[in-house]
Amino acid sequence: MGRKDSSGCCCCCEWLCGCLFSCILSCIFQILCTILVIAALAAFIFWLILRPNEVKFHVTDASLTQFNFTTNNTLHYNLALNVSIRNPNKRIGFYYDTFEANANYQGKRFDTETLTPFYQGHKNTTVVNAVFQGQQLVLLGTDEVSQFDSEKTDGVFGISLKLNLRIRPKLGWIKVWTFKPKVKCDLNVPLKSNGTSSTAFEATKCSYDL
Ligand SMILES: *[C@@H]1O[C@H](CO)[C@@H](O)[C@H](O)[C@H]1NC(C)=O
Ligand SMILES: *[C@@H]1O[C@H](CO)[C@@H](O)[C@H](O)[C@H]1NC(C)=O
Ligand SMILES: *[C@@H]1O[C@H](CO)[C@@H](O)[C@H](O)[C@H]1NC(C)=O
Ligand SMILES: *[C@@H]1O[C@H](CO)[C@@H](O)[C@H](O)[C@H]1NC(C)=O
Ligand SMILES: *[C@@H]1O[C@H](CO)[C@@H](O)[C@H](O)[C@H]1NC(C)=O
């Protein structure tokens, strides 16, 4: 069957091209659908086998023996933290290629420590020790200075620990991608004077900073 109002050849060609085009389109569409379904299935099976669980960070101990702010905007500090890292995964280990710890006070970073890279096996807990000691020029506004004074009176300082990590998961012999999570721990650290503090430090859970 051909159309009456145009020449037979052109009509046929148009019809053929159109048919071919839609045929190719539906073919591509079907291939894409199949690939998508297979990929989703593979991801699901992968997930079933590995059952990835979130690595959890806690600051389990903190010792602050010096934290004073002098009139020339210099912060003198001596802070030691124990960070516990729990890998609950049965089949995944992690290489911590970069482990950078930043100590912040009122949103201002006052020290950075780079810890030695390490490997953490599956179902294991690693405790790392970060020590921040020294002095740093920190510019605080009047509100921040009064906040400092009130915290000094309480004997507890709000210090935030931020971890910049570069982690490589290891699945059996496969070591593929790298990811760079940021971890944030908002701590209330009591100042120790003469070896004792008014309150004890409470272990604090950290969160992922997105
Ligand atoms: C951290 O852990 C070490 C032992 O691993 C311990 O000697 C130290 O007192 C702990 N606390 C702090 C705040 O460093
Ligand atoms: C900071 O305080 C400690 C005692 O907590 C003291 O020994 C030290 O001299 C003080 N430093 C400054 C610069 O005021
Ligand atoms: C700030 O004051 C401390 C002691 O109060 C002193 O050791 C330090 O050298 C001073 N820093 C500057 C830059 O003046
Ligand atoms: C877990 O870590 C400890 C050291 O902290 C190590 O002796 C042990 O072999 C590790 N276990 C696994 C399964 O990697
Ligand atoms: C500091 O502690 C020691 C004993 O630990 C005590 O003899 C001394 O009097 C204390 N000093 C102050 C200023 O409280």
Ligand 1 pocket, 80 CB below 6 A?
yes
| Residue 73 Cβ contacting ligand 2 at under 6 Å | no
Q: Given this model, what pLDDT does residue 2 score?
A: 46
Determine the distance separating the centroid of ligand 2 and the alpha carbon of 197, expressed in angstroms. Answer: 16
> Considering every ligand atom, which ligand is closest to the CA of 71?
3
Per-residue pLDDT of 138-155, as tens digits, reads 998 899 999 999 999 999
**If residue 148 lies in a helix (H) or strand (E), which one and from where to where?**
helix 142-154
User: What is the distance in A from the centroid of ligand 3 to the CA of 62?
Assistant: 27
- CB-neighbour burial class of residue 180 (10 A; exposed 0-12, middle 13-18, buried 19+): exposed
Q: Is 8 in the pocket of ligand 4 (CB under 6 A)?
A: no
Neighbours of 111 (CB within 10 A): 19
Give the residue, 56 or 22, on which the prediction is more confident: 56
**pLDDT digit string, tens, across residues 26-72:** 888 999 999 999 998 888 777 777 667 889 999 999 999 999 988 78
